[in-house]
Each structure stands twice: as C-alpha cells, then as structure tokens.
Amino acid sequence: MSAVLAGYGDETMALPVQGKTRRLKAGDWTGLAADIGLPAKAAASAARMALSAAQRANLSALPFTGSGLHRVERELRTRRLEIAEM
C-alpha cells in the first residue's frame, strides 16, 4: 500500500516492494509474500489485518484539510478495495 502524505508531497514507500516504491498493487504484496516464503494463509491473514487497520484510520486527525485530505481519502479507498480483493 503506497502511503500518500498529501500534506508533505511524498507518495513513495521508504523501502521498495517488488522493486517499486510507488503505485503498489495487491499483486506486489502477494509477490513479496511469495518471495519471502510467507504461506498463502498467513499472507491472507496479513491482508485482512491491514484492511482492518485501514478501515479504522481516523483521517480527520491528519494535519491537513481540503484537497490534500480528499486525495488521502481517495487513495485509502482505492487501497482498501485492493486489499479486500486479495
């Protein structure tokens, strides 16, 4: 999941996943799980945990408003859908 910190202008991951630091998709995370030998059941459990955390995120606590906040909301909505499909 690529973190979009709209208030800061940084859309990259600190460490690459599958060689990417931006625009990660569900397949990138699935590939990472396979590369490190994580069993499919454990990878699915981790995806469910990430989805649960994403659903509880309190976006109103972020230090920005307006279009920056809308951008974060849109990105998180997209990522939630991708995780749910894993």
pLDDT, tens digit (0-9, with 9 covering 90-100), for 26-48 = 889 899 999 999 999 999 899 88
- Residue written as token pair 């800061």: 8
Note the pLDDT of residue 86.
72
What average pLDDT does this structure show over 68-78? Answer: 83
What average pLDDT does this structure show over 57-68? Answer: 83
Phi–psi pair at 17, nearest 5 degrees: -120, 120
What average pLDDT does this structure show over 40-59? Answer: 87
Note the pLDDT of residue 8.
59
Domain count, the chain: 1
Which residues form the domain of 38? 1-86
Q: How far apart are CA 11 and CA 27, in angstroms?
A: 19
Tell me the pLDDT tens digit for each residue of 3-23.
444 455 677 778 888 999 888
Alpha helix ranges (H) inside 1-86 = 26-35, 40-56, 66-84
